[in-house]
Amino acid sequence: MAQEIVAAGSYFDGVSARPHPVTLRLGDRLVISGAGIFHDWNPIDIRASETLPPLMRIGVVGSLARVEFEDATLAAVLPTRCPDLRKAEDGTHGTLRIVGWSVAAGLSVLAAAVYGMPLLAALIAPLVPAPVEAKLGEAVDGQVVRILGDPPLCAEPAGQAVLDALVARMTAGQALPPGLSVVVRRHAKANALTLPGARIVVLSDIIAKARTPDEFAGVLAHEFGHAAARDPTRALIQTSGSSFLLSLVLGDLTGSTVIVAVGQAALAAGYSRDAERAADAYSVAMMNRAGGDGAALASILERIAKDGSETGAFLRSHPFTRERAAAIRALAGPDAAGRRILSDADWTALRGICPPLPGKDKGKDKPKPEAPEDAPRSEGERL
């Protein structure tokens, strides 16, 4: 067993420029530990970047995370235990990656002036590495949750089990980004949000407002469509432009105003008409494959669009509602209304995914059954 060498260093997660104090222990492997941080790196995978002594910067292949330290003993021993230490990061691959992003950042200014931000975003979004997009999604998720007032997660076991099974059934065999996740948060606004990194946030009132499980599933499938097309990342680039690319080059995504902008953009759900049409078509196809009512999305779209209260609703602010609803029903086909994606028992369990609020009777906190379509509604009732 190799003699252990201990040194102090700083850990960078590859997204934020903020350093995190860590302890480095080099034995047969390199163990990095600190507050909320633990990594166990294989010496074979460790690479070093060009730095000026006594500073040394190292990372592992396939990760944006880096560690910096100035311990002379550790710096001297690392090359003897890491055979490929100088192989990649200070060679062509690391250099080309930085040069490539730097050129892209420069060209983005020109492209924005000549072609406009929508085209630029469409060209750049597919090039963002999946690990970067995942880290970005995690940071945006935290920002969105703060903007919403830190609504609690809803995960009553019975409802969560139905939701997990529904998501698995709907996404089976689909080409969706890695790390797809769906969470429900208790909130009085009917909304569903797709964030970078295929993170779907469902606000509980959209479940309460859905009159059938297929309406909710149709909304969920629509969000999967945005995730599949990487629309949130495209919207982020369109909103922030070259500052996003410069943040990638500098390794600072979570500490910039870019995150605030995309958090607010996610809440506004400002996608283009083409993006909405594509997500609608994706929803219908997914619902049909899963055995659900692909036309149900049109029903909840029309109903929420009629609501005049400030619900911040998933569909209320989306444009051209009548055109979209007609297209959805045409795609779904005449037999769509006869399908149902969940049993009554499972739908009841899913509608109870948010636990009762403390101090309230359970019966008072359960979702209320929706009135029939032609029933009279008060002027202030939200959908």
Residue-wise pLDDT tens digits, 21-48: 999 999 999 999 999 999 999 999 999 9
pLDDT at 378: 31
- Dump pLDDT digits (tens) for 55-82: 898 999 878 888 999 999 999 999 999 9
d(CA 73, CA 148): 49
Picking from 22, 21, 44, 42, the residue whose alpha carbon sits closest to that of residue 32 is 22
- Contacts of residue 170, defined as CB under 8 A and 6 or more positions apart, other chains included, come to 217, 220, 221, 224, 286, 287, 290
Q: How confident is the model at residue 264 (pLDDT cuts 50, 70, 90)?
A: low
**b/e code 313-322 from CB counts within 10 Å (16+ = b):** bbbbebeebe
pLDDT at 146: 85
pLDDT at 119: 58
**pTM for the predicted model, two decimal places:** 0.63
Q: How confident is the model at residue 166 (pLDDT cuts 50, 70, 90)?
A: very high
Q: Which residue has the higher pLDDT, 84 or 347?
A: 347
d(CA 68, CA 182): 35
Q: Is 236 helix (H, G, I), strand (E, B) or coil?
A: helix
pLDDT at 260: 57
d(CA 9, CA 64): 17
Question: What is the residue-wise DSSP string for 247-292?
Answer: HHHHT-STTSHHHHHHHHHHHHT---HHHHHHHHHHHHHHHHHHTS
What region, left, alpha or beta, does residue 359 occupy, with left being phi > 0 and alpha being psi -120 to 50 degrees?
left
What region, left, alpha or beta, does residue 271 occupy, with left being phi > 0 and alpha being psi -120 to 50 degrees?
beta
What is the arithmetic mean of pLDDT over 104-111?
52
CA dist list (Å): 248 to 102, 113, 120: 9, 21, 16
- Phi, psi torsion values for 201, nearest 5 degrees: -115, 120
Q: CA-based angle 301:304:305, to the nearest 5? A: 80
Element (H, E) at 76: helix 72-81
Assigned CATH for 5-71: 2.30.29.160
Q: How confident is the model at residue 97 (pLDDT cuts 50, 70, 90)?
A: low
Tell me what percent of the chain is helix, strand and coil, each rounded to the nearest 5. Answer: 50, 15, 35
Instruction: Name, of 49-58, 91-100, 113-122, 187-196, the range with top average pLDDT.
Output: 187-196
Percent of the chain with pLDDT over 90: 44
**Domains of the chain by residue range:** 5-71, 117-365
Q: Is 169 helix (H, G, I), strand (E, B) or coil?
A: helix
Q: Is 332 helix (H, G, I), strand (E, B) or coil?
A: helix
Q: CA-based angle 71:75:80, to the nearest 5? A: 150
| Residue 115, beta-bridge partner list | none
What token pair was written down for 132? 């970067």
d(CA 215, CA 283): 11
Q: Residues 169-177: contacts with CB within 8 Å, 24+ apart?
A: 169/290, 170/217, 170/220, 170/221, 170/224, 170/286, 170/287, 170/290, 171/224, 171/286, 174/224, 174/228, 174/286, 175/228, 176/224, 176/227, 176/228, 177/130, 177/133, 177/227, 177/228, 177/230
Element (H, E) at 73: helix 72-81
Amino acid at 180: L
Supply the mean pLDDT for the chain.
78
d(CA 183, CA 244): 26
Picking from 125, 115, 112, the residue whose alpha carbon sits closest to that of residue 237 is 125
Give yes or no for residue 237 having a pLDDT over 90. Answer: no
- Phi, psi torsion values for 150, nearest 5 degrees: 55, 55
d(CA 349, CA 183): 16
- Dump pLDDT digits (tens) for 169-206: 999 989 888 889 999 999 998 889 898 889 999 999 99
What is the arithmetic mean of pLDDT over 254-274?
59
- Dump pLDDT digits (tens) for 130-159: 777 787 788 788 878 888 889 999 999 999
Give yes or no for residue 246 having a pLDDT over 90. Answer: no
